[in-house]
Each structure stands twice: as structure tokens, then as C-alpha cells.
Amino acid sequence: MTPDHSPHAVLDELAGHPHGDDLARVVHTAAFAAADERRTTLEGGLAELVDRAGLSVADAETRFGNVIRALERGTSEGAGSATRVLLATLLARGVALSPPEGPDAEGRVAEALVWLATYTSVDALTALDAALGERAAGLWRAVAALVRRADQGALPQLGRAGAIIAAAALRGSASPDARAEAAALVDEVRDPIVRSLLRDAASPSRRPSRAPGASAAGGDAAQGGAGASEDEGWAEGDGRAPGRLAGELSPPPRGPVALVLLAATGILLAMHAARLAGRFLLRYRRPAAVEIGARGVTVRSRTELFGRTLREQETYIPVESLLRATREVRYPRLGLYAGLVALGLGTYLGVSLLVDGARAGSPELLGMGALVFAFGAALDFGLSHVETAARGRCRVVLVPRKGPGVALAGIERAAADAALSRLPRA
């Protein structure tokens, strides 16, 4: 498979396609209907699906081929062809848009995907890592369970062919979960070909290359064990490839007016006190990874409490919907914050001295109060306009044309510059 015909390239194409998700849903529905009915062709009911989605043949055109025409041709597509990769990635993308919840649902989806990969030309297993990222872990566990059952003769609808296809998918995956399942299966299965595939997958010499996440929004997940080692995995994978950054979500930057109002009302203090309490008392974390490409930005994040994952989210921002993507130094508003502190202290001392001077009728106290107040205001103005030049880590800020902004903190400046350079210049 050439890089131009890879699932990542197809996902980039779909991200900029006006009907990308609609096409993925059509392929998903057609493929799963074929799997349920054990049909080796996908065109059954296709016209109705396309009409229901409000699509035309022209809407299905991509640089990898026409999706509707590819579904109509079905198994006539050659192995490794662009349209086969297109259909496989669209099916995986459809799974990402409607991810299975729980082991039972994952088992049903995995069985359908393995059956389709075995008896049709649509092998979405090769695109799972690209389309779902870390959310594919449950599906890989379900695929491994299918290999075990098929090897025991308990899954005649898949048989030996399905076990070989599933083992080959585990072998080809870069997912740590897939490799762990393969290692556990090596000593269990009896089929020599399946065992050979799994042994190769479990080999320590195979180094994983992290796949970027899907461009769909993820849901809540009541899963445990998302600890520091997983964070390191994100950082490792994202750091090795250009355009990928790993850090932690932080509040997006506020404008000077909003900052002054929040500080003056005490809301800013309460917000930070709550955030610090959550971080140190409840182990509240929001690790995130950003993948920046020429067609847009994918943000994958999760919310953790006491080391357990409460929620996972994945958001894609097409480049045409991105208003601004910038790198900020670690303390870009240090001058403004210091100025506010100086103004607050100067006002407090100045007003106190002015009041005391007025009560005592002392010109010296009145003058000192005015001087302190003026010094506080001058210091506020000066510090507010000082450019900080902090070195080391920075924050990457993404501002879409609609919706809230996203800020990722703790990023190396060189890595941030290299990633942001992949975006097209306006």
C-alpha cells in the first residue's frame, strides 16, 4: 500500500469532503447489512441508502474514486487498489462515528468486520488504528477472542479463513493492545499459520508507530486505568512524528477586558482555586494530543479523575474552519497579570492613605497616597506592555471560526513551530 493510498490519506481527503461523514455512514450501513445477511456484495439496497442520505453520484466523487460506483462494483476491485482502501477506510470511519459500547457490542462489530474482510473486498481492519486510534483497543480484544473461538471450531461462520484474516490484522496493527492480545494467543492456538502470524505480531522487535486519531467526536467512557504510562504513550507517539503534539488541555486565553473583569470580581481567583483543588485532591487531569495536517487539526483528549478515564473526546477542525492557530510563550500575559496585581496593591494603599490624610487634614499623607496610586497605575501600564520572552515550553492555541477555542499546554517550542508550519498559509 503506497502512502498515497493509505487510510491516513483517505481520512485527510474525507475531512475536507463536504459529504465525508455521510458517505462513511452509507458504507457502514451497506456493509453491516451485507454482513448480517451474509452477502458477499454490498450493492443490495444501495440506491435507497443513497437516496435517504440525500446524496448523488457526483457527491460521492473523491480523488480515490467514486464511493457509490465502488460499492456497486464490490468484489471486482483489485487488491491494494485505491477504491478498496477508500471503502475500507470509510467503513472504519463509520465505526468511529457510531462506536460500539461495551464488550458485547464490540464483539458483534468485530465479527462483522472480520466476516467482511474474509468474504468481501472491504477490509476495515487495516484502517481501524487510523480511524479510531486508542478507541480501537476494545475491538482488537474482540478480534483476538474471535481468533480463539475460530481456532477451537466454535465459530463456523468465520472458520479457518476468518481466523487467518483476524490474525493477520492483529499482526499488521500498531496498537499495543493488539500486540498484547497476539502475545497471549500464541501459546493457545493450534493452527500453525495462525500461530506463525501471531508470533510475528508479538515479536519484541516490532516497534509500534502510533496512528493518528479519528476525526469524529468521542463519547463518555467508564473505563479505568488511564494512568501515567498511557500519557507517556501519547507523548512518545506524538513526539516521534511531525505534526503531532502531546500535552494537557488548558483554558483558552482570555481577552484583557474579560481578564480584568474576572479579576476584579474575584471570579478568577475562585476558578483557579477550584482547579488547583481538583488537580491535587482529586487528581483531575486532561491529557490531550493534537495532530496537525495540511487539511485540518484533530484534537484527542480525555478527562481523568483519580486516574480513571471519565470521558474521551475527539474533535476535527477543518483548515477552512480554523480562524487562528498560534504558539504562545509560556507566560504570554505575565505583564498584564503583574500589572493587575500592582494596580490592586497600589489602589489599596493609595486609597487608604488618601482617606487617612483627608481625615487628619495632612497634605503629606494626601500627597503620598496620590503618589502610591499613580505609581501603581504607571507600573500597571508598563508591565502590561512588556513582551515576555520565556524559553522552553509554550502553549498552542487553536481558535475555530465557530465554537470554543482549544489550548494545549506544555509543548516544546520547536515541536510546536514544526507542527504549525504544516498548516497552509492564509
For residue 274, what pLDDT is reported?
82
Q: If you average pLDDT over each of 95-99, 209-213, 336-340, which comes out highest? A: 95-99
**Res 222: pLDDT:** 32
Give the Å distances, CA to CA, from 97 to 125, 175, 415: 16, 20, 30
**Radius of gyration of the CA atoms of the chain, in A:** 28
Between 418 and 263, whose confidence is greater? Answer: 418
Contacts by residues 350-356 (CB-CB < 8 Å, ≥ 24 positions apart): 350/374, 350/376
Say if residue 402's pLDDT is above 90: no
Q: Which three cell numbers stand for residue 304?
A: 481523568
Instruction: Name residue, grid cell 503620598.
Output: 368
The answer to whether 214 and 175 have CB atoms below 8 angstroms apart is no
Which grid cell is 385? 506592555
With a CB cutoff of 8 Å and minimum separation 6, the contacts of 189 are 147, 148, 151, 163, 167, 195, 198
Q: Please provide the average confidence, as pLDDT, over all residues in the chain.
A: 76
Distances (CA, A) of 109 to 43, 96, 142, 305: 20, 11, 9, 29
Instruction: Pick 232 or 421 by higher pLDDT.
Output: 421
Q: What pLDDT does 234 receive?
A: 42
DSSP state, residue 424: P
Report pLDDT for 29: 93
Q: List, in sequence order, every beta strand (DSSP E) within 45-134.
A: 61-62, 65-66
pLDDT at residue 298, as a whole number: 81
Q: What is the pLDDT of residue 199?
A: 78
- The gap between the terminal CA atoms of the chain, to the nearest Å, is 33
- Quote the CA–CA distance of 264 and 79 in Å, as a whole number: 66
Determine what percent of the chain falls in helix, strand and coil, rounding each to the nearest 5. 55, 15, 25
Is the whole model's pTM more than 0.75, yes or no? Answer: no
Nearest to 99 by CA among 136, 126, 124, 127: 136
Q: Whole-angstrom Cα distance, residue 121 to residue 244? A: 32
Closest residue by Cα to residue 385 from 326, 333, 327, 329: 333
pLDDT band, very low/low/confident/very high, at 225 (cuts 50, 70, 90): very low
Per-residue model confidence as pLDDT tens digits over 122-147: 999 999 999 999 899 999 999 999 99
Asked whether the beta carbons of 397 and 328 are under 8 A apart, the reply is: yes
Tell me how far apart the alpha carbons of residues 173 and 200 are, in angstroms, rounded to a whole number: 11
CA distance 33 to 120: 13
DSSP 303-344: EEETTEEEEEEEEEEEGGGEEEEEEEESSTTHHHHHHHHHHH
Count Cβ atoms within 10 A of the Cβ of residue 277 and give its class: 0-12 exposed, 13-18 middle, 19 or more buried: exposed
Q: What pLDDT sits at residue 33? A: 92
Nearest to 28 by CA among 177, 132, 133: 132
69 alpha-carbon distance from chain centroid: 31
Residue 7 sits at φ, ψ, to 5 deg, of: -55, -35
Residue 222 φ then ψ, to 5°: -90, 70
Distance from C-alpha of 344 to C-alpha of 347, rounded to nearest angstrom:
5
Check whether 28 has a pLDDT greater than 90: yes
CA distance 49 to 145: 32
Which residues make Cβ contacts (< 8 Å) with residue 403, sequence separation at least 6? none
